[in-house]
Amino acid sequence: MPTDTALVAATADLLSRHAPFDRMQADHLAWLAERLALGYYAKGEAVLAPEQGEARTFYIIKQGIVRGEREGEAAWLELHEGECFPIGALLSRRAAISHFRAETDVFCYELPAADFHGLLELSPPFHAFCTLRLADLLARSQRQTQARYLSAATEQQSLESSLGSLIRRDPVTCGPDTPLHQALKTMREQGIGSIVVTEADARPLGIFTVRDLIGRVILANTPLDTPMRALMSPNPVALPPGAHAFEAALAMAKHGFRHVLVVDDGRLAGMISEKDLFSLQRIGVTQLSSAIRAATELGQLQQAAEDIRQLGHNMMAQGVGAEQLTLLLSTLNDLLTQRVIELECAANAACRRGFCWLAFGSEGRLEQTLATDQDNGIVFVAQANEDPDSVRAEVLDLAERINRALDACGFPLCRGGIMAMNPKWCLSLDEWKGLFARWIDAGDPEALLNASIFFDFRPLHGEARLADELRQWLAAKAAATPRFLHQMAANALRNRPPLGLVRDFVTESGGEHADTLDLKLNGATPFVDAARVFALAVGGPGTGTAQRLRQAGPKLNIPPPEIEAWIAAFYFIQSLRLRRQHEESESGQAMDNRIYPDRLNGLDRRILKEAFRQARKIQARLALDYQA
């Protein structure tokens, strides 16, 4: 233990180069340095293991590398100089979950557990680091380490990165009157596969790629003196430098192209390719979306569906955020569903009739997780002289073929029968309006349950105008029926977050689910239900939970920080659901939404409790607004 004043000062100086010690007061840092012992561990020696029981020492690496390993797994965490462990175990006064082993000869500063807890009370920056910031820092460290294992020798980019941070070179451009042969020469000299066509002030007009070369030049026998304005793809998709990488990924997935321009104040700043975004075990978003679009038979779509799930697992392994991941999964599942419909329509006369395929539930909200079934329906056009039943009979065979094909692709048939092949959910536009009107006017438990599922509809394929008209009609009808909104709010408040008075959480008391929580029902649903009521109250067009909250917040005078706190809590719960489903899939178990809260580490338990507190707050707002 350092007692010499100079040694204490030297130790404090070394620690001050690393977080969180760089933000601690000098006297608190000296207090820490005075209580540290120095330990040595030879290469390969165990520093800390679960079998040692409750963690009794806080370690700060002075020199060397420590690897974190879990039973039956490769190293999942690599710690270097200035990093510390096992904070989660010390906070919750339990044994470490991982084995920590010296990868090289290692020197560690060691602090007794009692002094660790004393420092928590003494230093606010240290306390904040351990209880709040640690989750983010460990997630980043784990993401970086796992990315190296998932895709060796390939630098991974976080989907939360800004596009501006991903730009690696100045964009290569040409003018609209540049002849083709000159543009091709430039592309060859620069070793690039695309060139941006811009005006003199760097405003982009279009893009030309190697893929265009085949279809527009070689096969078309286009003269080499043709100006680029005649060959470029006009109006390319562009995003600002501050946009996130996942936004570019979504755009690529939706449209099937491989490049997104980065435009700052109307002027070209750079270009991002799919290669800049992803290298996930040979499964890329654009390759996958292209494979879906090019599929000509069900077997190819079955493989694509499996690739979507694998992509989801890969992204989970890298720590991709719940918001980005659910958006990407839902977008790719949309594309697959659309292609299934297109293939079935190719040989079915019913497709010549105007109809729109609707997504309900989590698919309608763009919030699908790794485990999802089907919730869909059809709205069709019935002319004034047509009997809806005869139209329905014509469409139902097609609907069943589509539902069966989606089931074969790994999207199970809905056990509640909420599918387009069910005559109850294959209706004309007027029939849907009549059904929704009856639910709103009745307000009984069954009607409220149906509203919680069907009011999240979104068009997936066909005549979207039908869904748009239905959405506008529903918004006006709901807003004009405050009694129904009151009933929906009261119904939502029956599902209370499972926070306990004696124990942290209220879990199931018996049966096969004893000691578990249902994160979907008890965790995510309170946010989803409240957001739906808020959206109906203000006539918001959005269907996603976060989108609804952000649209409704200003109109309901809810402070933005409060809205963002609710959204953060909702997505933390979503991330726990995704993590659990990933773990279940990896171990060959059926995926569900249940967790054992007692098995969470101390940090996740703390954050989950705060998320449930936010659920209580959003419900308190709901109760206040509707006196429910």
User: Domains plus CATH for the chain?
Assistant: 5-150 (2.60.120.10), 163-277 (3.10.580.10), 285-480 (3.30.460.10), 491-626 (1.20.120)
Q: Does residue 207 carry a pLDDT above 80?
A: yes
Question: Is the separation of the CB atoms in 285 and 312 below 8 Å?
Answer: no
Q: Determine the average pLDDT of the residues in 434-441.
A: 94
Percentage of the residues of the chain whose pLDDT score is greater than 70: 90
Q: Supply the pLDDT for residue 278.
A: 59
Q: Is 167 exposed, middle or buried (0-12, 13-18, 19+ CB in 10 A)?
A: middle
CA gap 32, 119 in Å, rounded: 7
Rounded Cα distance between 295 and 547, Å, is 32
With CA atoms as reference, report the closest residue to 584 among 537, 531, 519, 524.
519
For 217, which DSSP code?
Answer: I
Do 219 and 296 touch, CB atoms closer than 8 A?
no
Task: Tell me the average pLDDT across 553-565.
Answer: 90
State residue 282's pLDDT score: 45
Residue 79: which of 115, 53, 55, 107 has the closest Cα? 107
Q: What is the CA radius of gyration of the chain?
A: 28
More confident residue, 148 or 406: 406
Measured distance CA(521)–CA(509) in Å, rounded: 16
User: What is the structure's pLDDT at 365?
Assistant: 93
Q: What is the overall mean pLDDT for the chain?
A: 85
pLDDT for 160 equals: 66
Check if the beta carbon of residue 382 is closer than 8 Å to that of residue 430.
yes
Summarize pLDDT for 459-500 with one digit per residue, the tens: 999 999 999 999 999 999 998 899 999 999 999 999 988 876
Query: Is residue 44 helix, strand or coil?
Result: coil
**Does this model's pTM top 0.85?**
no
Lowest-pLDDT range of 128-142, 147-161, 277-291, 586-600: 147-161
* pLDDT score at 432: 96
Which of the four pLDDT bands, split at 50, 70 and 90, describes residue 371?
A: confident
pLDDT tens-place string over residues 98-110: 899 998 999 999 9
CA 468 to chain centre: 26
Beta pairing partners, 239: 262
Extended beta strands in 463-582, E state? 517-518
HEC secondary structure over 434-491: HHHHHHHHHCCHHHHHHHHHHCCCEEEEECHHHHHHHHHHHHHHHHCCHHHHHHHHHH
CA distance 13 to 504: 40
Q: Strands 204-209, 194-198: parallel, antiparallel or unpaired by DSSP?
A: antiparallel
For 326-346, the pLDDT digits (tens) are 888 898 999 999 999 999 988
Write down the pLDDT at residue 156: 39
pLDDT above 80 for 308:
yes
Our separate counts of H helices and E strands in the chain read 24, 21
Q: Which residues touch 92 (CB under 8 Å, ≥6 apart)?
A: 601, 602, 603, 605
Round to whole Å and give the CA distance between 433 and 541: 17
The least confident of 39-43, 433-437, 478-482, 506-510 is 506-510
Name the one residue in this structure whose structure tokens are 């919750």.
92
- pLDDT (tens digit per residue) in 492-521: 999 988 876 445 688 888 788 888 999 999
pLDDT at 131 over 90: no
What is residue 210's predicted lDDT score, i.e. its pLDDT?
Answer: 86
Mean pLDDT of 172-183: 95
Q: How far is CA 84 from CA 13, 77, 125, 288, in A?
A: 17, 12, 15, 40
Q: What integer pLDDT is reported at residue 628 of this predicted model?
A: 66
